[in-house]
Amino acid sequence: MKHINKEQRYVISTLYKRGYSKTEIAEEIGDHKTSVGRELKRNANKKGGYNPNAAEVFAKERKERFGLKRKFKKSIQKIVDDYLTKEQWSPEQIVGYCLNNDIQMVSIERIYQYIREDKKNGGILYKNLRHKLKHRKRPVGEDKSKIKDKISIEQRPDKVNNREEFGHFEMDLVIGKEHKGVVLTITERVSKMFMCRYLPKGKSAINVANAVIDMLLPYKKIVHSITTDNGLEFAEHKLISNKLNATIYFTHPYSSWEKGQIENMNKLLRQYLPKNEVININNTLNLNKIQTKINNRPRKNLNYEKPVDVFFNFVKPKVAFASWI
C-alpha cells in the first residue's frame, strides 16, 4: 500500500482549506480519494482541522506503534547492531532515521529491551549508549515529562509555522561532555538571529527560566512565542510566559525536527564547543564573539543578508544585544 508523503500532506492541507473535494484533492496528488479520506480521518486534530506537520508526526507515531508488533528479525538486528556499534546512535535516532527512510524497524523500547538482554548475557552493546542504561527505568512509550499545562506545537498558528510573522523563537540547551556544563541557546525563526548564554549554576528549571527571561526581556515587545522540547529544564514555562507575555509551545516527544532551526544553530555552536569537551567558564569566555560571528554570516535563506541586520530591521530602536554573562 502506498503511503501519503510529507509533500502530499502540504497539498492536501492547502486544498482542503480551499474547500476542494476528496476526489479533486486525490487527482492533484495522484492518489485515490479513499486514501485522502483516510488521511483526513486518521490525522485530523481534535477540532477536526488538518495540519500537515502534525499529520506527519501522527503518521510516524503510528508507524512506531506498529513496530511494537514487528518481529526482531536478523536483518533488523544487524541494522541495530551496526548503528549502535559503528555510529553510537541512540535507539531514538535509529528508529527515527528508519521511519524517515522506510526501513523496517522495531520500536524504541524493543531496542532497549534487546540491549538490556544483551547486557544480562554479558554483552557490551549498552556501552555504546551515552547513559549506559544507568537511568533507564521507564518504558519509552510513557510520557516521562511532568511538565504541567503544556501547550502543544499542534496549536501553533500557521503564520508561525510558515515564518510569516517576526518574533517567534526556539530554544534549547547544549550540554558538555559527561553532562558537565550547559549553554542556553535561542534563535528567532524569521531573522535566524542566535543568542547563547553559559549557565554557571546548572540547568535547573528555575535557572533556565531566569536566563531566558533575562536574555529576551529587552525585546519583550516583539517576543510572541517560544518553541522548545519536553525536557524538564523547561518546566518553569509559565514563569517565562508571564514575564515575557509570550506563548510557550512544546514539540512532540522525540521530534527534534519540530524545532529544527535551533538544532541547526546548536551545530554551528558545536564548531566552537565540540561534543567531546566539558563546558565551563574558561571555554565559554568567547561566547559573545561566537554568537557575533554566527549572526554576521550572510545566509542564503535570507538572500545573503546577515541575521543581525534582519533582526534589527524589526527591532527599533536598536536594543543592546543580549550577552552570555
Run means of pLDDT, 10 residues per run, the chain, 325 residues: 75 84 85 85 76 77 56 88 89 82 81 88 86 57 67 91 94 88 95 94 93 94 94 94 96 83 92 85 82 92 92 77 46
What is residue 36's predicted lDDT score, i.e. its pLDDT? 87
- What whole-number distance in Å separates Cα of residue 31 and Cα of residue 192? 37
What is residue 138's predicted lDDT score, i.e. its pLDDT? 47
What is residue 128's predicted lDDT score, i.e. its pLDDT? 86
Contact 169, 226 (CB under 8 A): yes
What is residue 113's predicted lDDT score, i.e. its pLDDT? 86
* Sheet with strand 151-152: strands edge to edge: 151-152, 247-250, 225-228, 168-175, 182-188, 194-198
The angle at the Cα of 204, spanning 211 to 187, to the nearest 5 degrees, equals 40
**Lookup: cell for 308:** 543581525
Q: Interhelix angle for 91-100 vs 52-67, to 10°?
A: 120
Using alpha carbons, select from 229, 253, 262, 232 the residue that is nearest to residue 58.
253
| DSSP structure class, residue 169 | E
Tracing cell 476542494 back to the chain, one arrives at: 20
Contact 302, 191 (CB under 8 A): yes
Report the number of secondary-structure helices (H) and strands (E) in the chain. Answer: 13, 6
User: How far out from the chain centre does Cα 246 lie?
Assistant: 19
What is residue 46's predicted lDDT score, i.e. its pLDDT? 66
Contact 183, 270 (CB under 8 A): no
Neighbour tally for 49: CB within 10 Å: 12
